[in-house]
Amino acid sequence: MAVSRYRDVIDVIILTHCHYDHTAHITAISGMCDAEVMIHASDAPGMSDERYNLAPLFGARSPPLVPDRLLKDGDIIGSLEVIHTPGHTAGSICLYDRERKTLFSGDTVFTGGSFGRCDFPGGDAAALRDSLNRLADLEVEALYPGHGEPVEAEGIRHIHAASQVIRGYL
């Protein structure tokens, strides 16, 4: 496993949401690293509910996992601030480093002006629009999405583009 060489330095795993493609190996990784697993309180039930974590869409079964810590908007973990960004799921979060102007966006927003689907259980297009508008107020240089290529500069442009695109869906 690619993570194994970092087992001695990983002590926290923050999940941006409960979908299986982000949580599939969390039990093995957290056990190998002896790491604390964190997720927003609104997505914690989805860790063991396959209607919400979508494991069957990946041809899989998800082992239930009880997170070690439930997060809420405004929590600070190291240099990262938890920003609750519902829409893709009820408990989607982004992690923002104000000093470095870096955003880890999970599936809330991707580079190129796209965003996570909101038609799965727990999704909400209007909430996602509001979340993107909230992110558009941040200073973001580096943007690290849950899928696709990250950008190291002008990440806010991608957030603004996504904010414009979603308006066309509502």
Answer yes or no: is pLDDT of 52 > 70.
yes
Q: Which two three-digit tokens encode residue 108?
A: 């809330």
For the CA atoms of 151, 157, 160, 166, what is the dihedral angle to 10 degrees? -60
Answer yes or no: is pLDDT of 170 > 90.
no
Looking at domain 2-167, what is its CATH homologous superfamily?
Ribonuclease Z/Hydroxyacylglutathione hydrolase-like (3.60.15.10)
In this prediction, residues 159-166 reach a mean pLDDT of 97
Read off the pTM.
0.95
Answer yes or no: is pLDDT of 76 > 70.
yes
* Backbone phi, psi, residue 102, to 5°: -115, 135
Indicate the pLDDT class of residue 23, thresholds 50, 70 and 90.
very high
Indicate the pLDDT class of residue 1, thresholds 50, 70 and 90.
low
In this prediction, residues 13-17 reach a mean pLDDT of 98
User: Are 109 and 86 in contact, with CB atoms under 8 Å apart?
Assistant: no
pLDDT, residue 4, reads: 85
- Alpha-carbon 8 to chain mean position: 24
Domain boundaries, the chain: 2-167
Percentage of the chain modeled with pLDDT above 90:
92
Pairing type for strands 102-106 and 93-97 reads: antiparallel
Answer yes or no: is pLDDT of 20 > 80.
yes
In this structure, the chain runs to a length of 170
Give residue 166's identity as a one-letter amino acid code. I
Using one digit for the tens of pLDDT, what is the confidence trace for 89-130?
999 999 999 999 999 999 999 999 999 999 999 999 999 999
